[in-house]
Amino acid sequence: METIVVDPVAEGEDIVHEYGIQVADYAYVKDVDAAIFAVAHKEFLDLSSEYIDSIFSGDTKVIMDVKGIVNKDKIIRKRHIVLETIIVQAIIGMMKL
């Protein structure tokens, strides 16, 4: 499994130093099976439903929306599965067991 981290607000070198992970540009996000929106940066709020749809590889798309930023009315019509904050918290809680 490959994980791609995009954070247009964070400084790339700071993230590498602090967490040991590389931050990628939006251009590297394509053909994904799932997307996790974990922060509510304006740049993520401004993403169009067309862009979000375009990053996925298959017909069924899984979105974990930790901060409640995804416009579900637009996304659900495009066959996305949107896991809202409470579900994401439950999944994280089960992973810690």
Whether residue 39 is contained in a domain is answered as yes
In 35-62, which positions are buried (b, 16+ CB within 10 angstroms) versus exposed (e)? Answer: bebeeebeebeeeebeebeebbeeeebe
When divided into structural domains, the chain yields a total of 1
**pLDDT for residue 53:** 83
Q: Which two tokens stand for residue 73?
A: 């009315």
- Helix (H) or strand (E) run with residue 37 in it: strand 34-37
Whether residue 75 is contained in a domain is answered as yes
pTM of the predicted protein model: 0.69
Whether residue 89 is contained in a domain is answered as yes
Whether residue 3 is contained in a domain is answered as no
Q: What is the mean pLDDT of the chain?
A: 76
- Could you list the pLDDT tens digit for every one of the 97 residues in the chain? 778 888 888 777 777 778 888 888 888 889 988 888 888 888 888 888 788 888 888 777 788 888 878 776 666 555 555 655 555 555 555 555 4
Whether residue 25 is contained in a domain is answered as no
Residue 44 sits in which domain range?
31-95
Whether residue 61 is contained in a domain is answered as yes
Residue 80, burial from CB neighbour count under 10 angstroms (0-12, 13-18, 19+): buried
Strand partners, 81: 62
